[in-house]
Amino acid sequence: MAESLRPRRGGFLRPFGCGWFIREFLMGYGPYESPSIDPSVGAPQSDIFYHYKNALMRATALDRATKEEERLARREKRPIRPDAIEELAEQYFKDMPYKTSCCNYHSFVVYFSTLQRLGWVEFTGREEPSAFQEHCPSGPPRRYFRLTKAGREAPDAAWRSPHAALYGGA
């Protein structure tokens, strides 16, 4: 039986899901070379988004580099060189445009609000001022969020599809 390359719902596949990354990041595990944070302090939404996008770009670059090195090794009839994969991955990561990969910030904010409605993340009470540029007025404050007990105990299936968990769909 042939499988379609395109998933039935929810866009194209990613190396890891947004929900999974948010949960691991806010638990302080620092997934995919992202920094470890203190889970009791949490992190601002914009920082979580930045590290999620960076992690996806790194995973994509590594995947492309591995495929390219396998192709070259097969063509040249030589063993695969892990150091060549690392070099290629770093080059692919540097050349990858930031804006064309992953979701945009607005989509992330909407997704994050679903997690808030589920009660899986909460505002910690900590805020810090933010500014766009020197000649612009101040932006909204950066609010810190952390996982709640319900968020830590939510099953993996619910984290894979928070919208389904919120609205009771499949």
pTM score of the predicted model: 0.83
Bridge-based pairing of strands 142-147 and 121-128 is antiparallel
Task: Quote the radius of gyration of the chain (alpha carbons, Å).
Answer: 19
Predicted pLDDT of residue 16: 86
For residue 13, the model assigns a pLDDT of 61
Q: What is the mean pLDDT of each run of 10 residues along the chain (170 residues)?
A: 56 77 95 94 95 92 94 95 95 88 86 96 93 75 95 93 83
Burial of 8 (0-12, 13-18, 19+ CB in 10 A): exposed
**Other CB atoms within 10 Å distance of the CB of residue 162:** 21
- Would you state the pLDDT for residue 168? 83
pLDDT for residue 126: 94
